[in-house]
Amino acid sequence: MHSAFWDHLKEQLSATPPNFTCALELLKEIKEILLSLLLPRQIRLRSEIEETLNMDLRKQEAEHGTLDVPHLSKFILNMMTLLCAPVRDEAVQNLENITDPVQLLRGIFKVLGLMEMDMVVNYTIQSLQPHLQEHSIQYERARFQELLNTQPSLLDHTTKWLTQAVADLTTPLPTSPDTPDSSSVDCRAPNEAVNNPEPLSSSMVLSQGFLNLLLWDPENEEFPETLLMDRTRLQELESQLHQLTILASVLLVASSFSGNVLFGSPQFVDKLKRVTKALTEEFNSRPEEVMVTVSEQVSQEIHESLKNMGLAALSSDNTASLIGQLQNIAKKENCVCSVIDQRIRLFLKCCLVLGVQRSLSDLPGGLALIEVELAELGQKFVSLTHHNQQVFGPYYTEILKTLIPLP
């Protein structure tokens, strides 16, 4: 029956003059499907679909033999590209290579059917997600309690981890001119609660404890038992933090030599970020060699961009200084990297206290150029720690009762 329908459509479109009866019915169904895929806020797309697939107007065109099926099919494909899930991108792109109008419409209907199914699946998942998450929390906690019943010492490392976090927040640290200015930020910098008269709270201690995990010595086997399942993910976040420290340090040094004109260009910044990310992938294994390559490439990019914009080139002294400062980033004691590292950790702590979006609105200096990357890092860190607290919160509360006076 399906084949007969499409054969009939082909006969109608091949007739002289063309018969658009079936084509109009198909366009009407396609319009309804596209509209069903829209979200309430997508008003502009809804208007475009209503206007382009106005069936009264298209019926008039069909009666005069001027209905442009290929043009309408192209519009439909563009809408599908905007609305489909990433998994359907390839299928939609393949439709663009089909020249036969009947086969194209047939392919469009097939992919639209998959897109409708995707929408139903996504809605179902979103509806079930809170229930699944709550079940996961209860299940993980119950399993841990079973282990704790047979191994009473199972929380020893967790207790030591929280004890260290309390010590970090109550032990005075020497002030340093390189310490990031947190006066404009409504959260404490790492290890900065010492001079604050506000009494310690469980959330402050946990935030400090989670941040300490991003500095964990890999040879230290006393990892908190409540976070063992997340250890690999935390190591990945630590690696990502280090990569962002190097990236932001390179951008900060480069911007100090090339001025606001170059770094006011999003295209230049994006290109410099792509180049730096690609070249620093092996930074951990051979930092000096990598930074030599980075310094040469960054210097070249700045030189070419200044030339293309008709701006004065860097002097030989400034070029040498730029290259030297970039290469110094490879040193462990590099002050630029130290400051950037502290500020990224300050940002992460703010994410735990204020949330990612509020923290992004007031970034510490030197981090604005990596805002997108920081948002991704902050969201991953907050999601991990939030779920962990939901599962193990009762255990943390009992431990903290012995470490700090709780209200």
Mark whether 356 and 233 lie in a shared domain: yes
Q: Residue 135: pLDDT band by 50, 70, 90 thresholds?
A: confident
- Is the pLDDT at 139 greater than 80? The verdict is yes
- Is the pLDDT at 126 greater than 80? The verdict is no
Does a structural domain hold residue 189?
Answer: no
Work out the number of other CB atoms within 10 angstroms of the CB of residue 183.
5
Mark whether 238 and 117 lie in a shared domain: no
- Is the pLDDT at 220 greater than 50? The verdict is yes
Mark whether 235 and 108 lie in a shared domain: no
Does a structural domain hold residue 193?
Answer: no
Greatest mean pLDDT among 82-86, 214-218, 320-324 lies in 320-324
Mark whether 242 and 107 lie in a shared domain: no
Q: What is the mean pLDDT of residues 193-206?
A: 74
Helical packing angle, 266-279 and 287-308, nearest 10°: 160
DSSP string, 300-347: HHHHHHHHHTTPPPPPHHHHHHHHHHHHHTTSTT-HHHHHHHHHHHHH
- The whole-number pLDDT of residue 156 equals 95
Does a structural domain hold residue 199?
Answer: no
Mark whether 237 and 108 lie in a shared domain: no
Please count the CA atoms within 13 angstroms of the CA of 6 that sit on its side-chain side.
13
Does a structural domain hold residue 374?
Answer: yes
Q: Residue 228: pLDDT band by 50, 70, 90 thresholds?
A: very high
Does a structural domain hold residue 166?
Answer: no
Mark whether 395 and 249 lie in a shared domain: yes
Does a structural domain hold residue 8?
Answer: yes
**Domain edge (last residue) among 122, 143, 170:** 122
* Cα-based torsion angle of the residue sequence 137, 143, 146, 152 in order, rounded to the nearest 10 degrees: -80
**Structure tokens of 246?**
């190097």
Mark whether 260 and 116 lie in a shared domain: no
Give the chain's domain count.
Answer: 2
Does a structural domain hold residue 69?
Answer: yes
In whole angstroms, how far apart are CA 371 and each of 77, 358, 378?
Answer: 33, 12, 10
Mark whether 88 and 234 lie in a shared domain: no
Q: Residue 181: pLDDT band by 50, 70, 90 thresholds?
A: very low
Mark whether 113 and 249 lie in a shared domain: no
By mean pLDDT, which of 109-113, 159-163, 190-194 is the weakest? 190-194
- Tokens 């020893």 -> residue: 156
Where in the sequence is the domain holding 15, given as residue range(s)?
Answer: 3-122
Q: Residue 278: pLDDT band by 50, 70, 90 thresholds?
A: very high
**Domain edge (last residue) among 122, 143, 165:** 122
- The whole-number pLDDT of residue 193 equals 44
Q: What is the mean pLDDT of residues 242-259?
A: 92
Mark whether 234 and 113 lie in a shared domain: no
Q: What is the mean pLDDT of residues 108-117?
A: 91
Does a structural domain hold residue 33?
Answer: yes
Alpha-carbon span 323 to 3, nearest angstrom: 68
pLDDT digits (tens, 9 = 90+) for 299-322: 999 999 888 888 888 899 999 999
Q: Residue 183: pLDDT band by 50, 70, 90 thresholds?
A: very low
**Domain edge (last residue) among 122, 145, 161:** 122
Secondary structure (3-state) at 15: coil
Mark whether 399 and 253 lie in a shared domain: yes
Mark whether 275 and 398 lie in a shared domain: yes
Q: Residue 261: pLDDT band by 50, 70, 90 thresholds?
A: confident
